[in-house]
Amino acid sequence: MNKLLSLLVIVMLCSTVSAQTISQDLLNKFESQETVECIIVMADQLDLYGKTNGMTKDDKANYVYQSLTAHATQSQRMLQLHISSQGIEHQSFFAFNGMQAWMTLEQVEYIVDHFDIAKIVPNVQTRVARPIVTDEYIAMTRTDAEWGITQIKADTVWEMGFRGAGVIVAGQDTGYDYDNPAILTKYQGYSEDTIIHDYSWHDAIHSLNPLHGDLDDDPANNPCGLDITEPCDDNSHGSHTMGTMIGGNDTLKIGVAPDAKWIACRNMDRGWGSPVTYTECYEWFLAPTDINGDNPDPTRAPHVINNSWGCPPIEGCNPDNFFMMETVVNNLSAAGTVVVVSAGNDGNICGTIGNPSAIFENSFAVGASREDDSKAIFSSIGPVLVDSSFRIKPDIVAPGVNVLSINNQGGFNSWGGTSMAGPHVAGAVALIISANPDLAGEVDMIKNIIKCTAVTLVDSMQCGDISALDVPNFYYGHGRIDVLAAVEMAMDLPCMVDAGEDLVVCNTLDSTGINVLDGQLLTGNIDTYTWSSAPTSIGNFNYYGSDMMSDTSILAPELTEYYNRKEVYYLTGVTCAGNICMDSVVVNYSDWMYTLIQPESGKNPLDSIGIYSIAESNWPSTYLWSPDYNISDVTDGSPQVWNDTTQYYSVVVTDSLGCQVETGWQVNVFPTSTYDADQLIDIDVAPNPNSGEFTLSASEGVIHNLELFDISGKLILVKTGLSNSIFIQDLESGTYIYRAKVGDKLAIGKVVVIE
C-alpha cells in the first residue's frame, strides 16, 4: 500500500512538472488540433549581453556567433537525434537555444519527460500594426527634405559631410520593393553591372500564414511567393520603413541616412508573422548567409536593425515566451547591433507598451511625435506592466505622423505610426556611426548619446505614482531625437583604443573638455583597460603613468565588483600632432543616487542640491569620482570649513558622456588631514557583510565611536560605547563607509552589501 501511494505521488509530481513546462496556450491548442507548431525552449540558455565589452564590432559578432552555435549544438544534440528519429519536422535556432517543431501532445510530453526543457509554447501568428494613412501622392518633384528630416536636423548633418556612408542598416518586415529607384542603389547587393543577393537578403516565410484563411496552400496566394531569393514586398509596410531610413536622392529627401547601405529579411506573410519568423530574421542578422542559407558570416552583421512590428499578448505572445525573444535581442546587442523597435500604436493608456520586442531592457523602443513635438495620440506609452517590471519605455520619440515614403508599387504614401518613427532612429544611428566610425558596435554608448542629446519633453500625465514630468518618462522617454546634437557629441568622443596600441590620434576636444575625467578611479571598478606601461606601486596604491594621461592618475586600493553593467569612460592623454590622444577603461557602474540635504541655516552659501561622499582622500588635489558620474570641475578651490569633518565645494557633475547633471553640489569630505600609518588602525569586518549583518571588531583597544554613512554621504548610524566589537544589521543593498575611533586612532573603510 505504501509503495502504491509513493508511486502515485511520483506520478502526480511528474504531471505537475509537465503542466508547468507545457504552456496552457499549447494545451488549449491540442484540444482542437492533433499536431501543433511548437517552440521548444531549452533550459540551458546563453545570454551574452555584457560579455563582449572592449571588443571591436567584428570581434563581438564572431564571439557571439561562435559561442551561441557551439552552445546550441551541444545542448540540443540528444534532442535533435530523438526528433529526427521520430520524423518530426523541425528547425533549430541558436540566437536563443531552442527549436521549432510540429508535434502531437504525446510527443511533447515525451520530450518534457526525457530532456532538459524550460518551456514548450505554441508558435503564435501575429499581425503588423496598420499604419495610419493620411495622404497619397507622387513626390518626384519635391526638393525640400521631409519635415521629419528637418526636425531632427538630419539635413544639417548631411551638410557636415555625414550621410551614413560605410554603415549597414537592416530591416525585418513585410519585405522590400528593392528595385524601387529610391532605394535600389543603396541595396548592399547592387552594382551597376549586376545584383547579388548573397548576404543581403533572407526570406523567413516558408509557408502561408493560416490566419489569412487561404483556400489552399498554393504559394501564389502570396503576391511575392514563398522562400523568395530576391527582395519583394507583399504589403508596402516594409518598403515605407526602408525609404525613411535610407531612401531618396539629391532631389527626393525622404531618408535619414541616404548614403547608408541596406540588407533585409522578410518576417511576415502579407502582414502576419510569428515568434519563429521574427526569430529567424534576428538570427540571420547575427550571421548573414549566402542566398542558399550557407556560409554564415557574422562580420557582415548590420550596425542597426529596424523592427516596425509587435507581438501583442491578445494574440498569444505572453510572459511564457517573452524571454525567448529577449534573449535574442540581448545577444544581438552583445554582437554589436543596435535593435530599434517601434513602441506600438495602442494609444494613450498607461502600460500600452506591452509587446515584444519593445518591452525589453536592451531594445531601443521608439514612440511617435508630431511636428509640434507633441506625442501622437496613437503612440503607445509605458510603463511596461505586462511583465511587472514597470520599466520606463519608450526610450525616445521621433517623427511619426504624416511621414512620406515609398510604397511597393513605385509610388509614395504619407503614413503615420510608430512604425514610421522607428526608421528615423535607425537612420540616426547610421549618421552617428558615419560621423565617428569608432562607435560601430558600441550599442549602449550609441543609445546613450541619442538619449543624452534628445530634446527633453514632459507631460502632466500620471500612471499611478509615476509622473511623466520626470525625465526619462513613460510618455516621451528621454525626449525627441536631435541627430545633429547626437552627431556633434559622437564627434567629440575619443576613439576606441585597440589592444596593444600605446597612442591613438583622436578627435580634438572642444574647449569645454566634456570628455575629460579629471580624478581618480577605483581599480575595483575597472573591467578592461589598455596601458602602455606598467603601474608604479606606492604603498597599497597603483599609479598609472603620465605617458597616456597628462594630469590624471588611477587609484587602486581594492578589487570589488558591484554590478555587472558596464560603461566605457575615457581619460585624456598626451598631445599628438595637435590632437588629443586617448586611452579608455570599461567601468562597472551602478545607478547613481544622492540624498537631498538641507544644511543648517546660514551655514551653506551654495545652492544645496546633493551630497557626495569621499573617503580616504585629500580634497581637492586628488579625489574620487563615482562609477557613473564625473566631478569635472571644482569651482571653489577654497572650501568653507564648518567643523572638523565636513567641507563643502561648489562642483559641476557630469555623466560619462559629458552631459551636465547638476551644479552647486555639496561634497561631504572626511577629514582632509593626511594620516600617517601610525594614526590609522585596521578593524575586521565579519562574517559576511553581503548579508547585511556583520560585526566590526578591533583586535587591540576598544571602539568608542562608530559612524556609518551611505554612499550619498548621509550619516545613517552612530554607535558609542566601550567595546571591542559592534554588531550591525538590517542594511539594505548598497555601499557604505564606516569611520570608527579606536583609542586615539581612526579606522576608515567601505562595506558593500549585496542581497
Q: Which residue has the higher pLDDT, 92 or 632?
A: 92
Q: Is residue 530 part of a domain?
A: no
715 within 8 A of 700, measured Cβ to Cβ: no
Q: Taking 80 as the threshold, does the pLDDT of residue 464 lie above it? A: yes
More confident site: 315 or 306? 306
Q: Taking 90 as the threshold, does the pLDDT of residue 710 lie above it?
A: no
pLDDT at 328 over 80: yes
Torsion angles phi and psi, residue 433, rounded to 5:
-70, -35
**One domain, residues 635 and 683:** no
In a domain, 508, yes or no: no
Domain end: 492, 513, 537, which one? 492
**Looking at per-residue confidence, does 223 or 736 come out higher?**
223
pLDDT band at 313 (very low <50, low <70, confident <90, very high): low
Average pLDDT over residues 374-392: 93
Q: Cell for 568?
A: 566605457
Point out the least confidently predicted range of 374-378, 404-408, 688-692.
688-692
Question: Where residue 726 falls among pLDDT bands split at 50, 70, 90?
Answer: confident
Would you say residue 44 has pLDDT above 60? yes
Is the pLDDT at 652 greater than 60? The verdict is no
pLDDT tens digit sequence for 409-459: 888 999 999 999 999 999 999 999 999 998 999 998 899 889 988 999 999
Does 424 share its domain with 403? yes
Q: What is the pLDDT of residue 683?
A: 82
Task: Tell me the pLDDT band of 234, cut-offs 50, 70 and 90.
Answer: very high
Within a domain: residue 595? no
Contact 391, 356 (CB under 8 A): no
CA distance 404 to 566: 39
Q: What is the pLDDT of residue 212?
A: 85
The pLDDT of residue 661: 42
pLDDT at 369 (0 to 100) = 97
- The pLDDT assigned to 411 comes to 87
Q: Is residue 173 part of a domain?
A: yes
| Rounded CA separation 163/326 (Å) | 31
CATH code, 720: 2.60.40.3080
pLDDT at 385 over 60: yes
Domain end, chosen from 441, 463, 492, is at 492
| CA 223 – CA 235 distance, rounded (Å) | 9
Comparison of pLDDT for 102 and 622, the residue scoring more: 102
- What's residue 571's pLDDT? 35
Q: Which of 669, 687, 719 is the last residue of a domain?
A: 669
For range 621-645, the mean pLDDT: 33
Would residue 190 count as lying in a domain?
yes
Q: In the sheet where 703-710 sits, what is the strand order?
A: 715-723, 703-710, 734-742, 745-753
643 and 691 both lie in a single domain? no
What pLDDT is stored for residue 715 in this prediction? 67
Residue type, 424: H
287-301: average pLDDT:
97
Judge if 207 and 351 occupy the same domain: yes
140 and 108 fall within a common domain: no
The answer to which of 386-400, 601-615, 695-709 has the lowest mean pLDDT is 601-615
- Between residues 493 and 480, the one the model is more confident about: 480
Q: Is the pLDDT of residue 705 over 90?
A: no
Local confidence band at 50 (pLDDT 50, 70, 90 cut-offs): confident
Q: What mean pLDDT do residues 551-565 have?
A: 26
Cβ neighbours of residue 641 closer than 8 Å, sequence gap 6 or more? 647
523 falls within a domain: no
Using one digit for the tens of pLDDT, what is the confidence trace for 244-257? 999 998 788 999 99
**Same domain (yes/no): 246, 393:** yes
pTM strictly above 0.75? no
Task: Tell whether 93 and 237 lie within a shared domain.
Answer: no
Whether the link from the prior residue into 357 is cis, omega within 30° of 0, is yes
First vs last Cα of the chain: how many Å apart? 46
Q: Is residue 561 scored above 90 in pLDDT?
A: no
Sheet containing 579-588: give its strands across. Answer: 526-529, 579-588, 566-576
Q: In this predicted model, what pLDDT tens digit does every residue of 191-211 receive, in sequence order?
A: 999 999 999 999 999 999 888
| Number of domain units in the chain | 4
Cβ contact 696:684 at 8 Å: yes
Residue 573 lies in a domain: no
629-634: strand order across its sheet: 629-634, 651-655, 660-663
Same domain, 434 and 468: yes
Residues forming a β-bridge with 705: 720, 741
Q: How far is CA 696 from CA 591, 701, 748, in A?
A: 28, 13, 11
Query: What is the chain's length?
Result: 755
**Is 220 within the bounds of a domain?**
yes
The pLDDT of residue 749: 72
Task: Tell me: do 144 and 214 sit in the same domain.
Answer: yes
Distance, in Å, from the CA atom of 423 to the CA atom of 241, rounded to the nearest integer, reads 6
What is the distance between the alpha carbons of residues 694 and 686, in angstroms, rounded to a whole number? Answer: 5
Say whether 23 sits in a helix, a strand or coil.
coil
Same domain, 147 and 114: no
For the segment 735-744, the average pLDDT, to the nearest whole number, is: 77
Cβ–Cβ under 8 Å, residues 225 and 219:
yes
Give the C-alpha distances (Å, rounded to integers) separating 223 from 183, 197, 233, 274. Answer: 21, 20, 8, 19
The reply to whether 210 and 114 lie within a common domain is: no
**Chain-wide mean pLDDT for the chain?**
74
Dmax over CA atoms of the chain, in Å, equals 91
Under DSSP, the state recorded for 211 is: G
- Look up the CATH number of the domain holding residue 397: 3.40.50.200
In terms of domains, do 97 and 32 share one?
A: yes
Give kind and range of the element (H or E) at residue 428: helix 418-435
For residue 656, give its domain range: 611-669
pLDDT value of residue 209:
86
Residue 521 banded pLDDT, cuts 50, 70, 90 = very low
pLDDT at 623 over 60: no
Residue 88 has pLDDT above 80, yes or no: yes
Please give the full DSSP string across 347-375, using - where no structure is assigned.
-SSTT---STTTTSTTSEEEEEE-TTSPB
| pLDDT score of 699 | 79
